[in-house]
Amino acid sequence: MICTVTLNPAYDKTVEVQDLIISEVNTILSVRFDPGGKGINVSRVLAEMGHPTQALGIIGGDTGLFIKNYLEQRGIPTRFVEIDQPTRTNLTVVDIDDPPATELNEPGPVINEKIILDVEKSILDAINDSKLFVFAGSLPRGCPHDTYCRLIDLVRRRGGTPVLDTRDEALAEGIKAKPFMIKPNQTEASHLLGRSIESIEDTASACLDFVKGGIQVAIISLGKKGAMMACEEGVFLGIPPEVKTDSAVGAGDSLVAGVCLGIEKELGMAEALRMGVAAGTATATTPGTALCKKELVEAILPRVEIKKLS
């Protein structure tokens, strides 16, 4: 069982238009609704791949109820803290003639200390069922920047394995608790380390620096170029096959899900990276906020190249 913790989930609405014209009336061709948030996406991918997962976090209002019902109807148990403020709504506008998509994201509810304490309790209740916890996504308003640091420390003290996928101050503070794994992109890693990260050599060096700093598995996502990983087994570059991409939304979350799945299955870190790159690539071929399908991940998997770097 892999648990995900999404403190600032979203009700995702995706609309498709043709030839979007700003400041004019545009006709919507199709509408899609999905539960959103990085951790929730990880749980959705894990469930699609047939692996047990449980979704934790904070929800509220009708939009939060939609998320809870959507997940539970698809066999994903939830342990959400429910509040009296509605879960935020995110709007993705897809111009079918001019990708990529435009995202309009609400900031979300305001969280207080009592709600964070309730989240801690839900984690402690869930840790009997799972050791691997994925903390992912932005922090809602009212959460101190060190909230992930606090929750990661809680999981570590109870013998769990925490994974962190966030950005900005939440990432800078969160890594102080030494999570088992992190997955910044090149820009986020550059901000953390205070230097430019552009080439493959730069990226490998950055991953190694994170490992030297106490992170056991450091992954830097490279978009359509794949992902770099450093760990005890070495430094690996995962290169995806060329595919026709539709939307990058959720691709990084799928990468995290695939790697975590590989870790749970004890495939070895190189094969876990292969699984992650395959899942991320499969999601990139889907429209809007849609995520990968198991059949496509399995088809892409043998086409992912893994290089061990010296």
CATH number reported for the structural domain that contains residue 280 in this entry: 3.40.1190.20
pLDDT tens readout for residues 182-227: 999 999 999 999 999 999 999 999 999 999 999 999 999 998 899 9
- CB proximity list for 174: less than 8 A, separation 6 or greater: 135, 146, 148, 149, 152, 164, 166
pLDDT of residue 29: 95
| Catalytic residue (one of 34, 165, 246, 253) | 253
67-76, 144-153, 247-256: which range is least confident on average?
Answer: 247-256
Pairing of strands 161-165, 132-136: parallel
* Distance (Å) of CA 122 to CA 59, 76, 117, 302: 13, 16, 9, 38
Count: domains in the chain: 1
Q: Say what percent of the chain tops pLDDT 90.
A: 86
The model's pTM is 0.93
Q: Tell whether the model's pLDDT for residue 271 goes beyond 90.
A: yes
For residue 166, the enclosing domain spans 2-309
Q: Tell whether the model's pLDDT for residue 94 goes beyond 90.
A: no
What is the average pLDDT score of the chain? Answer: 94
**Rounded to the nearest 10 degrees, how much is the dihedral formed by the CA atoms of 69, 3, 45, 138?**
80
pLDDT band at 290 (very low <50, low <70, confident <90, very high): confident
Helical spans, DSSP H, in the chain: 38-48, 61-73, 113-126, 147-157, 168-174, 186-193, 200-212, 251-264, 269-284, 294-300
Q: Tell whether the model's pLDDT for residue 308 goes beyond 80.
A: yes
**Rounded to the nearest 10 degrees, how much is the dihedral formed by the CA atoms of 49, 50, 53, 57?**
50
- Residue 202 is a catalytic residue: no
Torsion over CA: 169, 175, 176, 179 (sign): positive
pLDDT tens readout for residues 29-51: 999 899 999 999 999 999 999 99
Q: Tell whether the model's pLDDT for residue 129 goes beyond 90.
A: no
